[in-house]
A and B are shown apart, each in its own frame.
Chain A
Amino acid sequence: MRSKSFVTIISTIAAFITFFGLSLQAEAVSKDSGKEPIVIVYVCDLSNPAGQVPFAWMKVAAEQINESGGVLGQKIKVVAEDCKGQPNLAVEAYTRALINHKATVVGIYPRSEIVLACEAKAGEMYPDYPHILLAIGAASDEITYRIVDQYDKWKFVFRDQITVSARVPLYRDQVDIFKAVGVKKFALLREDLTWTQGIFKEFPATKYHKKILSVPDYAKSIGMEVVYQEAVKYKAGMYSPLFEAISAAGAEGIIFAASDGNDLDVFVRQWVDSSAREMHMLVTGATGARFWERTGGKSIGLITDSSVYPLLSGKDTPEMPDVRETAKTHNLAIVSAVLYSAYPDMFFLKKAIIRAGGVKDIDALIKAMEETEMMGPQGPLKYERTRIPPFFHGAVFADINDPSKHAKDGYTAVYGQIQKDGKMVLLQKPFPGVDGSLSYYRSPAELRKMK
């Protein structure tokens, strides 16, 4: 009996040690190192393209940087920490990034609630583990809202995307394009997520800028009318009744503010089979390398944002390799600007680290991040320096003195139309030397006949 309990105790202890030993070993995976590399950890969902694609681009960028001699003699090491899309696991991953990997930069994939959960933990840990938090692709204002008021606490937070409040110029562009093609009445739809809320609402005046009209009010001010508006459930699946209602409302066109994660192929297929098929259609996020194939060519005539296509490359982006060429040689997907923005981010970080003279002094690196500028595939890449919430420390896009207008030297997004064989034709001219004109526009009905 005694020997039986002895065996039980020993086996319990053994199981306990094995289990926690494995955990400790798993924790310590990255502790071995020769000459310390600069560690960049990417907290993401590796089972989701929104996590996989940026990580693949980051790894290739690190390879390219290391092949060219690294950064001030130090290699760059990129590590992914899988969070399975869950905030609790993301916070664990963030903690490991700082404690185990000793990360200088922690990137977080484009889900705002995950970024916010990690940001709260990062704020707690920053005094003991100084680092940079880079939100890659997340758009919420909340991410950078508090940096102005509590600069010393949150100064390490940067966001490489256009914040929600900075999207007004994009919304205005959409309405202007519709006006230019002769639409007077249109339906305004938005996917029911926080980032699209600004399209229905006016931005109240702040001490930094005057009141900004909502899209319906802006349309009214230029002689147009929103005859139907609705927040559409994310991945709703069934859009036919919506198209019939829009058609009955007398709309001549539809604007749908949506993201590339939505079921936009389903939306487009049902549009073509509805009584709204002759309407002009503008859908943001209707991108992706295979969107044309996914819709079986039914996306012909659709106006969408050009974010899937790098506007600049080669000699126009001298501080980084050619994006299109890199995509081809490394078999990488240019799914959307949001997803491959991690690539220019890496070269931006390299430039900022060189400017700061290394990564030892994080305050110097933060200052260098604020001051560095670089030409990326979507135009100038730099972070807002003026202390205006929520633009401060976000990628420059809107003019901070009048956020309804584009900044003169910031991230650029233009609209294009999907035409014959899925070819995108730009309807706006983004840069000198890049072709784009509204005169290329054809109505969906016209393009279908040509097809």
Chain B
Amino acid sequence: MVKIDFKRDRINIRWRGGKWDWMIEPRYWRNTFYWTIVLLLLPLFFVYFSPGMAVTMVSANVYAALGIPLAFMGLGTGRVNFGPNFYVGVGGYAAALLSLHLGFGQLATLPLAIIITAIAAFIFSPLVIMAKGLYYTLLTLLLPLVFLEVTFIYTDIFKGDVGLFGISPLVDFGSTTANFLGAAYISSVILLIFLLFTNKIMKSRYGLIMATVNDDEEVAQGIGVNINRVKILSFIVAATMIGIIGWFLAHYYGTFSGITYLPLTFMLKILLVLMIGGRAQIFGCVAGGYFVAFLEMILIRTMGDFQPVAFPIILLILLFVLPRGEGLFGLYRRRHYREYFPQTHVRR
């Protein structure tokens, strides 16, 4: 029998042994709701005023959607993964190869890309138990670079530096504007699903256990938490989410090459998104992703030859100036401390 209790700020739903809370107090969801509306209106705004910016928006969504699982992984494993792009490669190549060799469409490659990335993540998940600190950093840093070498060695499969092309398109409505809108909305929906999923997990009992592991593994173990299970599960789930972005990139661009996503430059951009947005803020990844993508575009269009110098300088200044660990979102968060926002615990 379902039992529903109306509280001041929430509705409790109980059924058998389970209990679900549904927040009704506006401060828990109001601003999130408003920003979601803005995010969903942006593609229409861009397509009407400047369709080229819809493409920049897709990049921003991709950066943000990569930052969120990376922050999530950091929370659950208590370690910073320096090679999240490895899973972009796995998901992207899985989708590309399935599309090219078996003729699968984008919907058919998605579940398989998820499964393949999850298997790859499972294979490498013992890293979170075996290594920590500098060793973990180095090992995760090396993984995408080794994969990049593999793409060069097995050129017949991965097509080396040129990459795979002719992958089935993400959307094909027969009109440029409709395709822009389609891609922008799909990337936004993926981003929103990632936000919702991460938010729910972090607000749950499991999120509390993850935070405990993040704070102190030994204490967590002492109070009965199976820390290995938590770490491995967080690692696999986050890596699989990153793999979904690989799938998206392969179908969105219609081409996929390791040399684009596996080198350090791509990974550094994701880490910057995390740091600028706020490494302890899940919603900060969205701010970070949009800031980095649009700043880059503005600088390219306005600063000419000086842009390659200006872009890292601005980001470096922001890293020093912004509140430590809180980033851009932290500035907002400080003024809205009474509102609820999911926050990752960052081990110092």
**A interface vs B, CB < 8 Å?**
8, 19-20, 22-24, 26-29, 46-47, 81-82, 84, 86-89, 91-93, 95-96, 99-100, 112-113, 116-117, 119-121, 123-125, 127-129, 140, 142, 146, 192-194, 197, 233
Contact = CB atoms under 8 A, between A and B. Distances in A.
A89 B292 CA distance: 12
Contacts of A22: 298, 302
Interface string B41-56: 0000000011111011
A120 B51 contact: no
A197 B259 contact: no
Contacts of B301: 26-27, 29
Contact of B335 (A8, A20, A123): A8
B255 A129 contact: no
Contacts, number: 126
Nearest to B294: A23
A26 B162 contact: no
27 contacts: A20-B53, A20-B294, A24-B53, A28-B50, A47-B308, A82-B307, A86-B265, A87-B260, A88-B59, A88-B62, A88-B249, A89-B296, A91-B55, A92-B55, A92-B56, A113-B161, A113-B162, A116-B257, A117-B253, A120-B254, A121-B254, A127-B176, A140-B162, A142-B165, A192-B152, A194-B159, A194-B160
Q: Which 7 A-B pairs have the closest CB atoms?
A: A120-B254, A26-B301, A113-B257, A47-B308, A128-B176, A96-B52, A27-B50
A80 B249 CA distance: 25
Contact of A19 (B161, B162, B294, B300): B294
B126 interface: no
Contacts of B160: 192-194
Interface in B46-97: 49-53, 55-56, 59, 62
B323 interface: no
Contacts of A123: 254
Given A24-B49, A26-B298, A117-B253, A112 B161 contact: yes
Nearest to B179: A124
Q: Chain B's interface: helix, strand, loop or mixed, by majority?
A: helix
B150 interface: no
B151 to A, nearest CB: 11
B294 A113 contact: no
Contacts of A146: 166
A179 B131 CA distance: 56
A100 B260 contact: no
B35 to A, nearest CB: 10
Interface in B261-302: 265-266, 294, 296-298, 300-302
Contacts of B163: 113, 116
A88 B266 CA distance: 11
B49 A120 contact: no
Given A22-B298, A88-B59, A99 B51 contact: yes
Given A120-B165, A194-B159, A129 B53 contact: no
B133 interface: no
A300 B308 CA distance: 37
B307 A142 contact: no
Nearest to B266: A86
B224 interface: no
Contacts of B254: 117, 120-121, 123
